Amino acid sequence: MNGRKELDELLRTMPRVWRGRRPQANEGAAIPTGFQALDRALPEEGWPFPALMEIAVPAWGIGELQLLLPAMRYVQESGKRLAWIAPPYLPYAPALADAGIDLNRLLLLDKLSNDKDIWWSAEKLLRSTACGMVLAWPRKLSPFAVLRRLQLAATEGRCLGILLLTALPADTPAALRLRLEAGEQGLWVHILKARGMPLVNAVLIGGSDDRAPN
């Protein structure tokens, strides 16, 4: 067996081996973000799926839920459920309904008091195959081993897991890592890590039109 055949065999038998800028066909389609400039900027042309991603939010309420609303609707329209775990504030149900979220297909766990319960719940829901998207708000930085379990659970359950944090851990197995920044004209989405090379490092969304800085 020559080197090329050995490599092909390795890639065939180990689907989790990362191959480069674009995802493998059998990894599943990315979830559209709902923002054209952001889709164009991301290597997978949307939120990676199935996968774990992290979003650093310096202050709650700067637009993190608006950023994810189009993807939430997309997931529900595909027949899957949403799950929110330990959000910092109780979501306002009428506003979510007005935004097109089916409240009957939204599972809310808002009574969890420690991160171990949050991580455990997130792992179970990610692996359940009942959810298309699981959002979790851990109170502290998640250890690498926990993040690794969540990444594997998301892959096995074919789900998008999203951790919203005020700060990011130094190292992570997450497929995508973002940092949000409130701007005068909208919300800046900084792309810190992706499975491949992003076309730009930051995208402004939420204004009259979405745009990238270069």
What is the maximum alpha-carbon separation in the chain?
Answer: 62
Q: Does the pLDDT at position 190 exceed 60?
A: yes
Domains, the chain, ranges and CATH?
Answer: 31-205 (3.40.50.300)
Burial class (CB in 10 A: 0-12, 13-18, 19+), 199: middle
Residue 199's pLDDT band, with cuts at 50, 70 and 90, is confident
3-state secondary structure of 122: helix
Averaged pLDDT, 20-37: 70
Higher per-residue confidence, 211 vs 146? 146
**One-character DSSP codes across 68-109:** HHHHHHHHHHTTPEEEEES-SS---HHHHHHTT--GGGEEEE
Average pLDDT of the chain is 87
Enclosing H/E stretch for 188:
strand 186-193
Residue 24's pLDDT band, with cuts at 50, 70 and 90, is very low
Averaged pLDDT, 23-49: 83
166 contacts: CB under 8 Å, gap ≥ 6? 56, 57, 58
Q: Does the pLDDT at position 38 exceed 90?
A: yes
Query: What does pTM read for this prediction?
Result: 0.83
